[in-house]
Amino acid sequence: MAAMEDVITLSGDGIFSAYVSRPEGTPKAAIVVIQEIFGVNAGIRKKCDNWAEKGYLAVAPDLFWRLEPGINLDPDVPEEFKQALEWMGKFNQDQGIRDIEATIKYARAAVGGGKVGCVGYCLGGRLAFMTAARTDINASTGYYGVGIDGLLGEKHAIAHPLMLHIPTEDGFVDADTQKAMHDALYGHRKVTLHDYEGLDHGFATEFGKRRDEAAARLADSRTEAFFERELFG
């Protein structure tokens, strides 16, 4: 069962929408699914539905709502990809983290005070790192996060487990950036890094030409095991 539902901002003076997919029966935990630069599109909604099928309450907040509510773009359409980059340039990431924190609060209440994890892709992968460092999220996973090298000064604040999936041929994250991530995070007791040799950005998308089936299944199996361990262990 899925629907768009309202989330109250942390300040209490605003409301934004989130796609919420509910499992049959009582959810065993909640997962916040953090969008790419394309909004809460079909791929992100499918991610939520997949988690609901596994017994989780899944919530994807519309993080671009302060720019324009309901952005829903297809990365395989060149004009829509260009629009997504423009929205990304206008997006306030610090405010986005506060909206993610409000979503965590909403999700935690929806599962009776239980644990909440998050998983993000592209921009969402970066925001997953920021969420791990700046909120009380119980576990975080980021796929092909962009610009994480500029956030490594916050690594000391990561108090709960974080897993990052890194394709080695990411067109948006060069080899020097990947090395900086490995150098800074290797040995961090809360961080796990997985490399995917020869793969490019977007390999775990649900739809479209970017997906690599074998790698997506491998990464997703690691994420599933990670959440099983960290949200119920």
* pLDDT, tens digit, 9 for 90 and up, residues 4-44: 999 999 999 999 999 999 999 999 899 999 999 999 999 99
Q: What is the pLDDT of residue 233?
A: 62
**Which residues is 26 bridged to in the sheet?**
none
Of the residues 195, 201, 212, 220, only one is catalytic, namely 201
User: What six digits make up the tokens of 72?
Assistant: 């829903």
Q: What is the pLDDT of residue 167?
A: 98
Active site residue 160: no
* DSSP tag of 11: T
Ranges in the chain, pLDDT < 50: none
Residue 28 CA, chain-centre distance (Å), reads: 19
**Which residues is 165 bridged to in the sheet?**
143, 194
Of the residues 170, 174, 176, 188, only one is catalytic, namely 170
Q: Cβ of 225: how many Cβ atoms within 10 Å? A: 11
Active site residue 200: no
223-229 contacts at long range (C-beta below 8 A, 24 or more positions apart): 223/119, 223/141, 223/163, 223/165, 224/54, 226/139, 226/141, 226/161, 226/163, 226/192, 227/29, 227/31, 227/56, 227/117, 227/139, 227/141
CA distance 118 to 125: 10
Q: What is the pLDDT of residue 120?
A: 98
Burial class, 26, CB count within 10 angstroms (exposed 0-12 / middle 13-18 / buried 19+): exposed
